[in-house]
Structure 1
Amino acid sequence: MNPFIVYPVIGLTVLLTGCAATGSSSGNDVSTSNIKSLEDKNEVYIGQFAVTFVTKDKGSATSQSPMIRGGGSEYAQSVLVANLKGIPNSTFQAIADQAYRDFVADLEAKGYTVGDSNDLKKVSEWNELEPLATPYTPSGLSNLMSTSSQETLTFAGGPTTLFATPQQPGQITPLPYQLADLSESVGKPVLAVNYAVHFAYFDSDTDYTVNYVEEVPQGGGASTTLSASVTLGQGIQVISGAIAQFLVGPTGTFSDNGYVQLTSPVIVGGAYGRNEDTTSDSQKAANALSSALGFFSGKSSKTTEISVVANPEYYQYGALKAIDEANNRIAHELQPKK
């Protein structure tokens, strides 16, 4: 999934004005499978709670000349690279830990007893799983084979562990179905929750709009200048596809295992940092050369790099606000029958 939609205009001006996950996300926009499997289950374990943070993304668009019948071979290509800067790993980890605690609290409020996931490590089947070091970032062969434009970091929340899926090297989701053996051993459902948080959103349709200077006061107070530029809008979102999977028994075609998944993103609008044009001198030179050559060939391209230099406290506030709502929507569907 590429969350950027770039609309080309004359002169290769880069306007990043949309998101693949646009549309109203009001209400409880989720899809579910086999929820009835949890109706008589009042105790669960959380084996994995993973929060993936997108730290780099890009979008591109190509515009062909309307003056040439059939489109011709003339074109102008525009590429925008966006980066998230200024967030230490300690902030990412703090967000993941707080998100885990919030999810546990939501489940408990629905009537569940949430077992200590450390108890799962006492089950023999635990040794058959493949834990990942955190923070996890795709690397090696799996990263080279990926077609995604994103760079990400994934953190495990609370006492949970990240697992690789043997059939899909480098993947965090779906959860490894060896957890089904753990579920059978402990006699209770085992959950794996996986969220992805993006640092940008480019539309007016948001769930919340935050004035960070007012809501998260700091020493700079109202004099702090934060703004989202024309070329890259700021916003924090839990992207659609966030999922809580649960295992209640053996896997297979007629399995009772299931999930709750967001079908719409949770979006928090508001400027949480400052935008900087970080296009390198060499890239600017390449852009100029392409423009000059395009005068003769009809083909030109331009790449611009924008970095959001974030205030860590503001980013944490916005990310947790988005994740809290995602937790609410998913936990709402997981409520057991009394």
Structure 2
Amino acid sequence: MNRVSRIALLSSHVLLACAALPVAAAPAIGTDNVSAIKGHRKVVIAEFGVEFYTQLHSEGRAGGSNAQVTTTLTGVSDATFQAVTEQAYKDTVAALTQAGFEVMDPQVLKASPLYQELATKYGTASPQTFVDEKLVEGAPSISKIFAPAGMPAFFSSSAIRGDFGQRTDSQNQGRGKKEGDLAKSLDVTLLHVHYLASFGLVSGTKNGVLAGIAGVARAAIEPQPVLFPEETEIQFVTDAGFRTFTNSHRPRHSGAVYLKAPLSAGSGIFELKDTTSTESKKGDAITNAFGSLVGGFGQKRKSSEAVPQSEAAYGEAIQKLIGESANGLTQALAGAL
């Protein structure tokens, strides 16, 4: 499967799953070897980040046609992103405490040379900008990862996002061993908490027999506050460290809980402003409306800006989703104690 096909497949899954998820529904939570948390009530948050998409790119292919849509988030400052992150940390600690965990002060980590080694090697100053150039051809998706004040930012990689090194690091058992050693030395379980927040859902056609016959490529970005699945998660490392034999894409962690489906606040707080160049608009689209593009033979491009009603409206929507996610994730984690 080529790179564009993989991102189109993931995006289609995200779009369909979120469309079926009622706004008021409880988060759908998945688990990965969560039973490994049993007996480990004492925890410390070793990594915490809220990752905000600031640019989304959608690309669709069908036979000889290619449609591309790129949307940039405007009207939201780093100060708002940081404020959401600080509150998200407080909400997560509160949710963990309510669920029955003893949450240690992160200062216990900073006194450890092993933690300092890990933070220096894998952490960066906050915010950390991530430019996802590997899974698209026309333009990257761009995000910023914010950590609470005084903490480094960590990229939460997966088998799909990131460059080769970042994807490989998600399965770095050497790092997992050191994290297990750190957990053992402090007699505490390490938590790696990550929320992946987007201002829209991405979808696009992918090449195939039927698509080739139709010859019509489609790409779309539907603006709405949403937390993406899989990488909105709490991963943990006990004193047992990494897993040697597993089919999981998280082998360096002892286990995890994560969103199984996108968690959306619904549409309505964004206005889309078309920024497509005059040259690109000339005969470019069969349909070219509200963040979507349908193109015939050749390459068609559309660009736009997603502008929230206000920074406060954006922040409140994302914060509500994070609060709901934190409660769902911690309850699933506590259910295995």
**Residue 160 of structure 2: aligned partner:** none
Work out whether 1:56 is the aligned partner of 2:55. yes
Aligned to 2:242: 251
**Structure 2 counterparts to residues 189-228 of structure 1, below 5 A:** 189-201=189-201
1:173/1:319 CA distance change after superposition, 3 Å: farther
Q: 1:132 aligns with which of 124, 130, 133?
A: 124
TM-aligned CA deviation for residue 263 of structure 1: 0.8
Report the 3-state secondary structure (helix = DSSP H, G, I; strand = E; otherwise coil) of the residue aligned with 1:271: coil
Conserved 8 A contact 1:180-1:251: yes
Q: Percent identity?
A: 24
Per the TM alignment, residue 120 of structure 1 is displaced from its structure 2 partner at its CA by: 0.3
- What residue number does 1:295 align with? none
Question: Partner of 1:41 in structure 2?
Answer: 40
Q: Measure how far apart 1:319 and its partner are.
A: 0.5
**Pairing partner for 2:260 from 249, 260, 263:** 263
Q: CA deviation at 1:336?
A: 6.4
Give the corresponding residue for 1:150.
141
Tell me the TM-score normalised to structure 1 length: 0.71
Distance 1:248 1:58, change over 3 A: same
CA distance in 2, matches of 1:336, 1:63: 45
Tell which deviates more after alignment, 266-275 or 248-257. 248-257
Note if contact 1:77-1:302 (Cα within 8 Å) is conserved in structure 2.
Answer: yes
Q: Which residue of 2 aligns with 1:100?
A: 89
- Tell me, in whole angstroms, the C-alpha distance in 2 between the residues paired with 1:20 and 1:282: 36
Report the equivalent of 2:112.
123
Partner of 1:210 in structure 2?
none
Q: Retained in 2: the 8 A contact 1:244–1:259? A: yes
Letter in 1 for 2:58: G
Gapped regions of structure 1 (runs ≥ 5): 6-16, 65-74, 204-230, 289-297
Secondary structure class of the residue paired with 1:317 = helix
Tell me if the contact between 1:232 and 1:306 (Cα under 8 Å) persists in the aligned partners: no
Displacement of 1:276 after TM fit?
0.5
1:337 Cα deviation after fit: 7.3
Change in Cα spacing, 1:326 to 1:174, as seen in structure 2 (3 Å) is farther
| Structure having the higher Rg | 1
2:186 corresponds in structure 1 to 186
Task: Label 1:236 to 1:261 Cα distance change in 2 as closer, same or farther (>3 A).
Answer: same
1:191 Cα offset (Å): 0.2
Give the SS at the match of 2:325. Answer: helix
When structure 1 is superposed on structure 2, of 176-185 and 317-326 the one drifting more is 176-185
Does the 8 Å contact 1:132/1:161 carry over to 2? yes
Q: Quick one: which of 272, 290, 293 aligns to 2:269?
A: 272
The yes-or-no answer on 1:113 pairing with 2:102 is yes
- Partner SS for 2:182: helix
Aligned with 1:313: secondary structure?
A: helix
- Displacement of 1:118 after TM fit? 2.4
2:4 — aligned with what? none
Q: Partner amino acid for 2:237? A: L
Query: For the structure 1 residues 4 and 84, does the alpha-carbon distance in structure 2 shift closer, same or farther, using more than 3 Å as the test?
Result: farther
Partners of 2:51 and 2:155 in 1: CA distance: 14
Deviations 1:70-117 (A, max 9, x none): xxxxx5433221111111111111111111110000011112121111
The amino acid that maps onto 1:147 is L
Whether the 8 Å contact between 1:4 and 1:20 is mirrored in structure 2 is no
Matched to 2:304, the amino acid is I
Q: Secondary structure at the match of 1:137?
A: strand
Q: How far apart are the structure 2 equivalents of 1:62 and 1:164? A: 30
SS in 2 for 1:101: helix
Matching residue of 1:299 = 297
Q: Give me the whole-angstrom Cα distance separating, in 1, the residues matched to 2:31 and 2:281.
A: 48
Deviates more, 1:19-28 or 1:309-318: 19-28
Distance 2:15 2:335 in 1: 38
* Count, aligned residues: 278
Residue of structure 1 equivalent to 2:21: 24
- 1:134 partner letter: S
Instruction: Give runs of ≥4 in structure 1 deviating > 6 Å.
Output: none
Gaps of 5+ in 2: 1-6, 158-162, 204-219, 246-250, 286-295
The structure-2 alpha-carbon separation of the partners of 1:319 and 1:170, relative to structure 1 and needing over 3 Å to count, comes to same
1:148-198 per-position Cα deviation (integer Å, ceiling 9, x unaligned): 541111111355432368996456967952322221111110100111111
Using the TM superposition, give the Cα deviation of residue 199 of structure 1 relative to its aligned residue in structure 2, in angstroms.
0.3
Deviation per CA, 1:255-281, whole angstroms, max 9, x where unpaired? 981111111111101322321001134
What SS does structure 1 have at the residue aligned with 2:55? strand
With normalisation by structure 2, the TM-score equals 0.71
Give the partner amino acid of 2:179: L
- CA, structure 1 residues 18+247, in 2 after alignment: closer, same or farther (shift >3 Å)? closer
2:280 corresponds to which residue?
A: 283
